Structure 1
Amino acid sequence: MTTSDPACATAQGDLPPDHGPRTLVVVFETPVAEHLIRFAADLGYRTVLVEPQPRLLAGTPKPHGDQTVASVTTAGLDEHTDVVVTDHNRPELAVMLRDALDSKARWIGVMGGKRHTAPHVEGLKSLGVDDEAIARVHRPIGLNIGSKTPAEIALATLAGLIADRNHRPGGFAF
């Protein structure tokens, strides 16, 4: 049975999802990054993991996305790209963010709660990034669902990105 509502038809499997081109660039190999890559692939994103320290990729096989690169500058960021930095304590943080801000990325965010300082701000200023560009970096990110585990954090983050892409506030406000 086909319905005239495209959203209902897609939910019933009568129409393929049409989410347009989208890429998720996940910066730094972390447990949250693994879930982001896995869930984002299911949501139709092309996924890229950026990890400048190759030793962190060794060991147990993990989902590393469609592509793994060492730098944001080689991740292919464009206007369809969302960038999520999963570790706000890494020494490469400011350089990765500066390079993302120099791109056409649609959305850039750094994980970290409001109760933690935002180390990316001083790092970006030390690299000569202006306040207007720094203001493009979202923090905290994701929907406020009380996430506690890496999978829950990834889910909240992706839900927030989808809400933003669809110009919605997220949550239960319809």
Structure 2
Amino acid sequence: MDVRVERTRRALQAALFALAREHPLEDVTVADIVTRAGVNRSSFYQHYSDKETLLADALDAAAEQAGADLPTVAEPLAGPPQALFDYLVHLDENAEVYRRELGPHGSAVVMARLRGRLDSIVQEGITRSGTPAFEGVPLDIVGAGITGLALGVIEAWLARDPRPPVSTAADWVWRMLLGPGGSWQQPDAD
């Protein structure tokens, strides 16, 4: 990608992310974004069609910059993977933005982006693990179920006042992902 294009996109993302930490998205205008980014209005529309898509990109970039990649789970682990903990730290540090954008009046684009990311990771993890735990259930249904569960736990955690520590949230998400059996069943070795 052209360096100037990337620089403009990053400036727009950083500007909206900072503004979203200060105000609800509906209160932020394109004029606010371009002023904060130091670019002109036409630059915004050359790169983004709307604020929600820009915010989704900004949240992805902020998570990436924080080193908070969502985990790829190939097999059951004894506890939450570090990547899950790191991602929840990122959510905790930016709780107001995520609470607004994932809540009932939040951004459909942000929620769809996060849901898609989680669903992809879940489906890949289930496929790579070879677990028979979901035998007979289509992979997209398993992915949707686990993704919905994880998002539900994250939303409920972010909504709590006071919000429990990240370690508690990681434990909650992990325990819900494992389900009542405590772990995915591994295929029998023949």
The TM-score, its normalising length taken from structure 1, stands at: 0.25
Identify, as 1 or 2, the structure richer in strand.
1
> Higher helix proportion, which one?
2
Max radius of gyration: which structure? 2
Give the TM-score normalised by the residue count of structure 2.
Answer: 0.24
